[in-house]
Amino acid sequence: MTLFNERAMQQGFPATTPGDAQSEKDVRRMLEDVVLPLMREMAQSVFTQDRIRRLVADLRKYRSDRLIANDRETAALGMGAITYLEREDSPGLNTFLITLCWASLSSAVQAIDDSADVAPPEPR
């Protein structure tokens, strides 16, 4: 989040709190100018060739499990992901990997928000 805040400030976005209202134009600009480049950078650094090979292997097992369960639709989607990833040489441009990064970051931010909502334990 520190890197996000630094980049947002560099792009001229004011510091905001979760309750602050932003115009749709400002939100779109932040997504395009700050969030998407960060997600691309994250995907490029996280998804090494070895990590992509492991992900493809996991997807193959998942697809196989779905076929055994006679879930052909999900198995077909798994095959689509495999096809899209198995020859990937630019993870920072792969929308599937960028979306995985976004989901991961969103989960982390939500966990931080959730932990902030929990009252600290009473002193003994």
Domain limits, the chain? 44-89
- Residues (pLDDT < 50) of the chain are none
How far, in Å, CA of 64 to CA of 70, rounded?
Answer: 10
Res 23: pLDDT? 73
Res 1: pLDDT? 53
pTM of the model: 0.67
Residue tagged 């334990």 (tokens) = 121
Res 39: pLDDT? 92
